[in-house]
């Protein structure tokens, strides 16, 4: 049975670093890249837009994210499965890994600490705490320290 690795991807450089790490480290695994579209007022049938329009926009945004990883995947001469879901990333990621039989999670993190982490929350921290499988957090060492 082959291992399945989940890489949540939000379109950031941190997520790109996690994808590279996953493809390097788990070269024999099946890799699934998950993009989660976060809810906002326009995403509901009661919002400003009709229900079908936000779905189309969400699909288009997910497609843009997946197009953005194509060069990374091509450099490893492999393929990945891509999936997008709607909801709060920290909840969707944990639910997805449980429902889909994921063996490992690899995700990027901005590496926030202290008060920033407390005020902003952390998807990575929530996944680490709630996941029933190993989670590897990849810190992008090339990130801007002033951000």
Is residue 41 in a domain?
yes
> CA of 44: how far to CAs of 23, 49, 76, 114, 137, in Å?
36, 8, 39, 34, 32
- Which residue range(s) make up the domain with 117? 4-139
* pLDDT < 70 positions in the chain: 1-2, 40-51, 111-121, 140-147
Is residue 147 in a domain?
no
Cα–Cα distance, 127 to 23 (Å, whole number): 20
Is residue 144 in a domain?
no
**pTM for the complete prediction?**
0.83
Q: Residue 30: its pLDDT value, please? A: 97
Is residue 23 in a domain?
yes
Q: What is the pLDDT of residues 14-31, one digit of tens each?
A: 999 999 999 999 999 999
Is residue 145 in a domain?
no
Contact 30, 2 (CB under 8 A): yes
Number of domains in the chain: 1
The tally of CA atoms less than 13 A away on the side-chain side of residue 99 is 6
CATH number, domain containing residue 47: 3.40.50.620
Is residue 115 in a domain?
yes
């Amino acid at each position: 049975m082959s291992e399945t690795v989940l890489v949540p991807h939000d379109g950031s450089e941190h997520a790109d670093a996690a994808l590279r790490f996953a493809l390097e480290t788990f070269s024999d695994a099946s890799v699934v890249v998950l993009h989660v579209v976060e809810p906002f007022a326009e995403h509901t049938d009661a919002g400003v837009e009709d229900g079908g329009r936000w779905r189309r926009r969400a699909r288009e945004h997910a497609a843009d994210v997946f197009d953005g990883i194509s060069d990374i995947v091509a450099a490893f001469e492999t393929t990945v499965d891509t999936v997008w879901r709607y909801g709060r990333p920290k909840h969707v990621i944990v639910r997805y890994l449980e429902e889909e039989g994921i063996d490992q999670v690899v995700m990027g993190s901005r590496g926030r600490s202290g008060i920033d982490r407390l005020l902003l929350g952390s998807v990575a921290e929530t996944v680490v705490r709630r996941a029933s499988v190993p989670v590897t957090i990849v810190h992008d060492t090339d990130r801007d320290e002033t951000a």
